């Protein structure tokens, strides 16, 4: 490569030593994080695989009917049934496991920070470039420091997924709250409502549609990242795709790929329908 | 009920020389106003601060509907928000139910807003995810009133505004007028003494608007509420208000009853406003009559005792009818059985047209 400068600037020259330094000096901390994350992932996976596939499909179908509607219930039967029929049940559950845990963590971080950013313009201004970088850096680049620090497996995949899934949730939380019309905030004040009451009873319900878009994006981007994390041994459907790619086996790749589509559809529709239920009047 | 007034006659809202200045250098501007007595335009020029409310003093008495009328940009919306401190005043004092609003801490301020002052907004601000009933109960919900009780109170409030059959609907199923009634129900559900009405009927069509104006007036009188009512429509102010304040450029230029303002506009601006207003039911006999002594002196040829008679409170419309029926040279105005004045056709016409400032009553 020719450059105009007599030298090349490589951020990696600083980042890689920094990661190694962290690794040598904070190893116990990372080890602790790893074991906690592993335990959580195992626990959720145990729930997901507690029942035989057919039973599990039935349970999900019934739950989908209860929290959403019969269409989502039908979709659940087809998509999970497809994964099972492809012989990828366990892989699919590992993927869902990672997505669930990653989304919960991402939301737990992004939601309050998004509210904070909507309250304080300085926070928003500070966060914006950080989020820009987080969202535009190609996602597999996150995997490198994650692997350096947490080595191969599910935990670096989880960390990278959280990093990748949190920004849209954060951004859309801020946007959703900023979009709440001023008169409603004034209403809260005029009624003598405390700030937290105004947040929970006025702002969040009015912001819900945009918040749901944020959550939906968070879920789907997390799924994309979890699949990509098959490259670092995260297991699940991503590993099947990686296997298909490395061995040039069309069949393996296609089966795993279609299963991912099925899971994505299910997660998308289920999350949307469950959170956006039309409510019945009370009283 | 919740407030402790020093005595029954003190005003519910007492607003003393209140200023609101917007802008980055508002503090310096306020200093200049107090020390050098700068006016609105000088403040804008020198500090590039906008004066929203300039030296306003007014009182709201118990049971009274006080209309503040002004065009957009006159500062009326800013002024009404000073009463419940949605906007902080820059200078001056505001007492609500005897309490200095500026000195309330956050908790007391919330309590005052929740219990003493209800507010109805131009855009209603009903929560779309809640039913009409839940919206009406929202003020009580914020006050943490227990669910059954608040729904019951809200139901009563909705019945009062004539929406008993709509409790389980959602706001988007209601017409604009009905939505505004829900807004009113929400305000009265907390049983406040004062209701602040921020141009509540401006967006409604004329027929519904008049209906709601009449209903609101009747309702606040029967419930014994006091109200500050903001409007840009003088007709509305006259229909609703016991007293009217005319506001321009942040300052109140005239306060009085509808008749005061119509008959004696303080300046050309107010005169322009009242020019188009029908006087038929506003101008009363006592303001267009000649004192009886002056009349007999000027027209010794006429016998006042043979004139038709009426009361000082008879309006122009009634006077016209008396003239059309009788066709005399005058109508005698009786108060407590004695003739106090005489209305002549010319003085009546003058009353209908509106007197120029300083013009004498014509014989």
Do B161 and B264 fall into the same domain?
yes
CATH architecture of A89-275: Orthogonal Bundle (1.10)
Do B116 and B252 fall into the same domain?
yes
Give the model's confidence band at A270: pLDDT under 50 very low, under 70 low, under 90 confident, else very high.
Answer: confident
**What pLDDT does residue A150 have?**
81
Which among B142, B143, B164, B202 is the top mutation candidate for probing chain A, defined by the most A β-carbons within 10 Å of its own β-carbon?
Answer: B142
> What is the percent of chain B with per-residue pLDDT over 70, rounded to a whole number?
94
Give the model's confidence band at B4: pLDDT under 50 very low, under 70 low, under 90 confident, else very high.
Answer: very low
Residues of B within 8 A of A281 (CB-CB) are 131, 133-134, 168-170
Residues of B within 8 A of A187 (CB-CB) are 119, 121, 125
Q: Do B113 and A202 touch (CB under 8 A)?
A: no
- Buried-state track B346-363, b at ≥16 Cβ within 10 A, e below 16: ebbebbeebbeeeeebee
Nearest chain A Cα distance for residue B1, angstroms: 18
A236: which residues sit within 8 A by CB, 6+ positions away? Answer: A91, A92, A94, A95, A97, A98, A226, A227, A230
Give the C-alpha separation, B280 to A108, whole Å: 68
**What pLDDT does residue A4 have?**
67
Q: In this predicted model, what pLDDT tens digit does every residue of A258-268 receive, in sequence order?
A: 999 999 999 98
Nearest chain A Cα distance for residue B108, angstroms: 9
Q: Do A206 and B127 touch (CB under 8 A)?
A: yes
* Residue B358 located in a structural domain: no
Last residue in a domain, options B223, B248, B275 = B275
What would the two tokens of residue B159 be?
Answer: 């019945």
Measuring CA to CA, which residue among B59, B62, B38 is closest to residue B48? B38
Neighbours of B142 (CB within 10 A): 23
Quick one: which H or E segment has residue B276?
none
Residues of B within 8 A of A181 (CB-CB) are 125
A209 touches chain B (CB under 8 A): no
Give the C-alpha separation, B188 to B208, whole Å: 20
Give the C-alpha separation, A272 to B119, whole Å: 36
Do B130 and B181 fall into the same domain?
yes
> What is the percent of chain A with per-residue pLDDT over 90, rounded to a whole number?
40
What does the pLDDT average to over B93-115?
91
Last residue in a domain, options B275, B298, B324 = B275
Look up the CATH number of the domain holding residue B125. Answer: 3.40.50.300
Per-residue pLDDT at A231 exceeds 90 = no
Q: In this predicted model, what pLDDT tens digit does every residue of B222-234 receive, in sequence order?
A: 999 999 999 999 9
**What pLDDT does residue A246 have?**
85
What would the two tokens of residue A175 be?
Answer: 């946007």
Angle CA(B126)–CA(B131)–CA(B136) in degrees, nearest 5? Answer: 60
Give the model's confidence band at A178: pLDDT under 50 very low, under 70 low, under 90 confident, else very high.
Answer: very high
Last residue in a domain, options B247, B275, B303 = B275
Quick one: which H or E segment has residue A165?
helix A154-178
Q: In this predicted model, what pLDDT tens digit does every residue of B287-337 receive, in sequence order?
A: 888 888 888 888 888 888 888 888 888 888 888 888 888 767 888 888 888
**What pLDDT does residue B137 have?**
94
Per-residue pLDDT at A21 exceeds 90 = no
Do B170 and B253 fall into the same domain?
yes
Per-residue pLDDT at B164 exceeds 80 = yes
Look up the CATH number of the domain holding residue B317. Answer: 3.90.1280.20
| Residue B263, domain extent | 62-91+99-275
Residues of B within 8 A of A190 (CB-CB) are 84, 86, 113, 117, 119, 121, 196
Strand partners, B253: none
A176: which residues sit within 8 A by CB, 6+ positions away? Answer: A114, A207, A208, A209, A210, A211, A214
Do B264 and B302 fall into the same domain?
no
> What is the percent of chain A with per-residue pLDDT over 70, rounded to a whole number?
96
Q: In this predicted model, what pLDDT tens digit does every residue of A136-176 receive, in sequence order?
A: 888 778 788 788 788 888 888 898 899 889 999 999 999 99
Do B241 and B347 fall into the same domain?
no
* Residue B41 located in a structural domain: no
Give the C-alpha separation, B248 to B75, whole Å: 7
What does the pLDDT average to over B179-207?
92
Largest CA distance in chain B: 77
Q: Provide the number of structural domains found in chain B.
A: 2
Nearest chain B Cα distance for residue A278, angstroms: 9
Q: Do A187 and B125 touch (CB under 8 A)?
A: yes
What does the pLDDT average to over A193-198?
90
Residues of B within 8 A of A191 (CB-CB) are 113-114, 119, 138-139, 142, 190
Q: In this predicted model, what pLDDT tens digit does every residue of A34-45 receive, in sequence order?
A: 889 889 999 999
Secondary structure of residue B228 in the 3-state scheme:
strand
**What pLDDT does residue B5 have?**
46
Nearest chain B Cα distance for residue A181, angstroms: 9
**What pLDDT does residue A282 have?**
45
**What pLDDT does residue A283 have?**
40
Give the C-alpha separation, B267 to B329, whole Å: 33
Q: Do A283 and B134 touch (CB under 8 A)?
A: yes
Do B200 and B180 fall into the same domain?
yes
Which among A188, A276, A283 is the top mutation candidate for probing chain B, defined by the most B β-carbons within 10 Å of its own β-carbon?
Answer: A283
Do B321 and B232 fall into the same domain?
no
Per-residue pLDDT at B355 exceeds 80 = no
* Residue B149 located in a structural domain: yes
Do B73 and B209 fall into the same domain?
yes
What does the pLDDT average to over A196-225?
91
* Residue B54 located in a structural domain: no
Which of residues B358 and A30 earns the better pLDDT score? A30
A132 touches chain B (CB under 8 A): no
Do B270 and B290 fall into the same domain?
no
Nearest Cβ partner of B121 from A183, A194, A208?
A183
**What pLDDT does residue B242 have?**
93
Do B173 and B70 fall into the same domain?
yes
The domain spans of chain A are 89-275
Q: Do A282 and B117 touch (CB under 8 A)?
A: no
**What pLDDT does residue A137 have?**
84
Give the C-alpha separation, B133 to B148, whole Å: 12
Measuring CA to CA, which residue among B129, B125, B195, B127 is closest to residue B160? B195
Per-residue pLDDT at B32 exceeds 60 = yes
* Residue B6 located in a structural domain: no
Do B198 and B343 fall into the same domain?
no
**What pLDDT does residue A134 have?**
84
């Amino acid at each position: 490569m020719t450059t105009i400068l007599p030298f090349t600037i490589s951020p990696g020259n600083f980042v890689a030593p920094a990661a190694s330094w962290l690794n040598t000096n904070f190893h116990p901390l990372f080890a602790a994080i790893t074991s906690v994350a592993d335990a959580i992932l195992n626990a959720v996976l145990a729930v997901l695989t507690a029942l035989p596939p057919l039973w599990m499909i039935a349970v999900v179908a019934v739950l989908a009917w209860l929290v959403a509607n019969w269409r989502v219930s039908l979709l659940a039967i087809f998509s999970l049934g497809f994964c099972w029929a492809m012989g990828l049940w366990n892989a699919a559950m590992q993927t869902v496991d990672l997505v669930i845990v990653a989304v919960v963590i991402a939301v737990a971080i992004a939601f309050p920070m998004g509210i904070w950013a909507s309250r304080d313009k300085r926070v928003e201004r500070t966060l914006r470039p950080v989020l820009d970088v987080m969202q535009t850096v190609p996602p597999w680049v996150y995997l490198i420091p994650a692997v350096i620090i947490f080595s191969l497996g599910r935990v670096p995949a989880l960390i990278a997924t959280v990093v990748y899934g949190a920004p849209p949730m954060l951004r859309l939380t801020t946007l959703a709250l900023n979009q709440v019309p001023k008169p409603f905030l004034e209403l809260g004040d005029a009624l003598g409502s405390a700030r937290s009451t105004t947040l929970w009873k006025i702002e969040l319900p009015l912001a819900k549609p945009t918040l749901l878009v944020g959550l939906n994006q968070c879920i789907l981007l997390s799924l994309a990242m979890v699949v990509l994390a098959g490259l670092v041994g995260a297991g699940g459907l991503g590993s099947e795709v990686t296997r298909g790619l490395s061995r040039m086996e069309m069949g393996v790749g296609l089966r795993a790929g279609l299963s991912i589509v099925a899971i994505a559809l299910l997660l998308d529709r289920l999350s949307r329908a469950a959170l956006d239920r039309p409510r019945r009047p009370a009283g | 009920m919740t407030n402790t007034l020093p005595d029954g006659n003190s005003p519910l809202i007492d607003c003393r020389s209140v200023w609101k200045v917007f802008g980055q250098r508002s503090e310096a501007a306020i200093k200049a106003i107090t020390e050098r007595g700068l006016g609105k335009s000088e403040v804008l020029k020198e500090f590039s601060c906008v004066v929203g409310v300039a030296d306003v003093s007014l009182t709201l008495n118990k049971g009274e509907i006080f209309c503040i009328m002004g065009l957009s940009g006159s500062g009326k919306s800013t002024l009404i928000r000073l009463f419940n401190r949605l906007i902080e005043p820059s200078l001056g004092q505001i007492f609500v139910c005897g309490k200095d609003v500026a000195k309330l801490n956050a908790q007391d301020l919330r309590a005052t807003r929740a219990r003493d002052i209800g507010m109805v907004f131009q855009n209603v601000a009903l929560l779309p995810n809640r039913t009409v009933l839940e919206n009406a109960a929202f003020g009580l919900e914020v006050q943490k009133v227990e669910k059954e009780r608040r729904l019951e109170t809200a139901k009563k409030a909705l019945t009062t505004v004539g929406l008993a059959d709509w409790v389980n609907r959602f706001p988007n199923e209601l017409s604009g007028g009905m939505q505004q009634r829900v807004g009113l129900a929400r305000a009265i559900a907390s049983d406040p003494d004062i209701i602040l009405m921020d141009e509540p009927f401006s967006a409604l069509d004329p027929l519904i608007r008049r209906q709601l104006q009449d209903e609101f007036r009747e309702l606040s009188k029967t419930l014994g509420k006091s109200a500050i009512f903001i409007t840009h429509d003088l007709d509305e102010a006259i229909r609703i208000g016991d007293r009217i304040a005319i506001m321009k450029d942040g300052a109140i230029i005239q306060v009085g009853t509808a008749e005061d303002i119509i008959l004696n506009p303080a300046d050309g601006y107010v005169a322009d406003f009242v020019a188009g207003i029908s006087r038929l039911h506003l101008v009363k006999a006592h303001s267009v009559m000649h004192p009886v002594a002056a009349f007999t002196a000027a027209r010794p040829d006429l016998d006042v005792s043979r004139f038709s008679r009426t009361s000082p409170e008879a309006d122009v419309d009634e006077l016209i009818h008396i003239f059309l029926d009788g066709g005399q040279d005058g109508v005698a105005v009786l108060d407590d059985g004695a003739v106090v004045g005489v209305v002549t056709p010319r003085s009546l016409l003058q009353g209908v047209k509106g007197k120029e400032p300083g013009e004498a009553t014509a014989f």
